[in-house]
């Protein structure tokens, strides 16, 4: 499935091999995961999928860790994910050069770990993570819209679920964009928006921190148990911020030969990531200390008053809403691929009535379900921490190093082998403990849960 015939020393794919690939592809791979992009487009996709509004939660994560541990875990997350994503890319390149290009995470699991792993572990976890990200983006988009509304009408009657529905309507339109490759220009705009609202969050934090000379508390509170669970909650937040879960699908959008293109795309992504993650985390925690909110821009409002100009808060929220729509549509792609594979006919043209009608109906239903979940469960942030622990840590920290060792079989005396084993063992343990911490937090917050709550 998804085979590419590679011929010649220069690694170029012959036209005959490319034609053979197109005949063998299923509808999901053929229509959604089109291999037409450059390394630059790859960089746009990677940046949108990783550098997203969850980075605004990093100052909040620091409240559980303090300065030294906060910066250390943020740096470790950057180094380990950059390393693991490159390993995953090398495994994909290796199989592509051997004439078996893998286009999906479950394809990798099927071939490297066995079909049961792909069907019952990797596939379901990836779907849960990606669809959970869509729900979370829809919820956050609705919350940002509500913030803008309350700035103009503090006593306005509209509820949170109404804004979530409005954001869902925007997603209904964007979800119809036919392929992952079609998002390249949207994701370029998304990259610019990320830099914009991160700069605003950093600038706003510094302005408030210097203008209001209130003492800041950076100490860690609570007993030993609370501190320990707080640390793992923070690790889950950081892991979710660095999470991707769709590296194979993104690499599938790159036109063959794929060699070296993913590394260039990751360099673009991690340049933007370094500029945004560290500036927002450090400035936000410096300005607000242990009063940092789960989204740092919430600290720009106090007792119904804005600590920065209203137009500034309005601008930041608009930037976030627009980027959230791009992030959500990126994380819809694995779902779109499954739907396309189920309901479309690869033997018919992509835009024939036979394929367009099922595509529009199935994608619309997917967005409607995600919007309904977001409106019903406005406390989804707690659940998302659990998804991050169960999903992003295995997919982005553990499986890449396992895939690399099983594929390339490095010597057991080599540093690479033992580094990979260490990463797999440590982050497997961290994932389990972070999941327990997330379940505990859900239990603590359960008394505030109410369907369709106007939070």
Q: Is 6 helix (H, G, I), strand (E, B) or coil?
A: strand
Q: What is the pLDDT of residue 15?
A: 38
- C-alpha 61/C-alpha 242 separation (Å) is 13
DSSP 8-class letter at 29: I
Window from 20-24, 75-79, 319-323, 403-407 with minimum mean pLDDT: 20-24
pLDDT, tens digit, 9 for 90 and up, residues 330-383: 999 999 999 999 998 888 898 899 999 999 999 999 999 999 999 987 776 667
- Judge whether residue 107 has pLDDT over 60: yes
Domain 26-448 of CATH type 1.10.4160.10: yes
Could you tell me which residues come within 8 angstroms of residue 80 by beta carbon, excluding any fewer than 6 positions away? 397, 423, 427
pLDDT, tens digit, 9 for 90 and up, residues 196-232: 999 999 999 999 999 887 788 888 877 778 788 888 8
Q: What is the pLDDT of residue 118?
A: 87
Q: What is the pLDDT of residue 99?
A: 83
Q: Strand 305-306 and strand 301-302: pairing?
A: antiparallel
Sorted by where each begins, the domain ranges of the chain are 26-448
Q: Is 13 helix (H, G, I), strand (E, B) or coil?
A: strand
Q: What is the pLDDT of residue 1?
A: 39
- Judge whether residue 170 has pLDDT over 80: yes
Query: What mean pLDDT is reported for the chain?
Result: 88
- Judge whether residue 240 has pLDDT over 90: no
- C-alpha 104/C-alpha 362 separation (Å) is 20
């Amino acid at each position: 499935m998804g085979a590419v015939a590679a011929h010649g020393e220069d690694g170029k794919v012959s036209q005959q091999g490319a034609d053979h690939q197109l005949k063998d592809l299923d509808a999901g791979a053929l229509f959604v995961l089109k291999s037409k992009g450059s390394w630059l487009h790859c960089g746009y996709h990677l940046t949108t999928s990783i550098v997203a509004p969850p980075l605004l939660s990093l100052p909040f994560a620091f409240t559980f860790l303090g300065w030294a541990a906060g910066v250390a875990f943020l740096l470790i997350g950057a180094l380990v994910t950059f390393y693991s994503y490159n390993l995953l890319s090398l495994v994909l390149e290796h199989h592509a050069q051997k004439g078996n290009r893998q286009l999906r995470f479950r394809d990798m699991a099927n071939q490297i770990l066995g079909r049961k792993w792909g069907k019952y572990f990797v596939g379901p976890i990836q779907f849960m993570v990606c669809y959970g990200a869509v729900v979370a983006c829809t919820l956050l988009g609705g919350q940002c819209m509500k913030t803008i509304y309350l700035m103009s009408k503090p006593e306005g009657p509209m509820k949170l679920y109404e804004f979530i529905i409005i954001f869902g309507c925007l997603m209904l339109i964007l979800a119809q964009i036919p392929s992952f490759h079609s998002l390249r220009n949207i994701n370029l705009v998304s990259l610019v928006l990320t830099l914009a609202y991160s700069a605003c969050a950093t600038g706003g934090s510094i302005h408030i921190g210097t203008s209001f000379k209130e003492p800041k508390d950076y100490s860690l509170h609570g007993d030993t148990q609370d501190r320990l669970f707080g640390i793992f909650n923070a690790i889950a937040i950081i892991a979710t911020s660095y999470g991707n879960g769709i590296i194979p699908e993104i690499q599938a959008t790159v036109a063959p030969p794929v060699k070296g293109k993913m590394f260039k795309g990751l360099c673009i992504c991690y340049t933007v990531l370094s500029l945004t993650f560290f500036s927002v985390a450090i400035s936000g925690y410096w300005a607000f200390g242990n009063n940092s909110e789960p989204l740092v821009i919430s600290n720009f409002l106090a007792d119904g008053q804005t600590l920065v100009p209203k137009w500034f808060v309005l601008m930041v929220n608009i930037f976030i809403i627009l980027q959230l729509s791009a992030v959500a549509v990126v994380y819809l792609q694995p779902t779109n691929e499954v739907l396309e594979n189920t309901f479309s006919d690869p033997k018919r043209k992509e835009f024939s009535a036979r394929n367009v009608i099922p595509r529009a109906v199935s994608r619309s239903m997917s967005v409607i379900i995600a919007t309904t979940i977001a409106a019903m469960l406005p406390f989804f942030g707690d659940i998302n921490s659990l998804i991050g622990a169960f999903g992003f840590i295995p997919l982005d920290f553990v499986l890449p190093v396992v895939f690399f060792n099983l594929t390339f079989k490095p010597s057991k005396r080599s540093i690479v082998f033992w580094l990979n084993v260490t990463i797999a063992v440590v982050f497997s343990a961290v994932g389990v403990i972070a999941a327990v911490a997330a379940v505990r937090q859900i239990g603590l917050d359960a008394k505030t849960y109410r369907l369709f709550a106007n939070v």
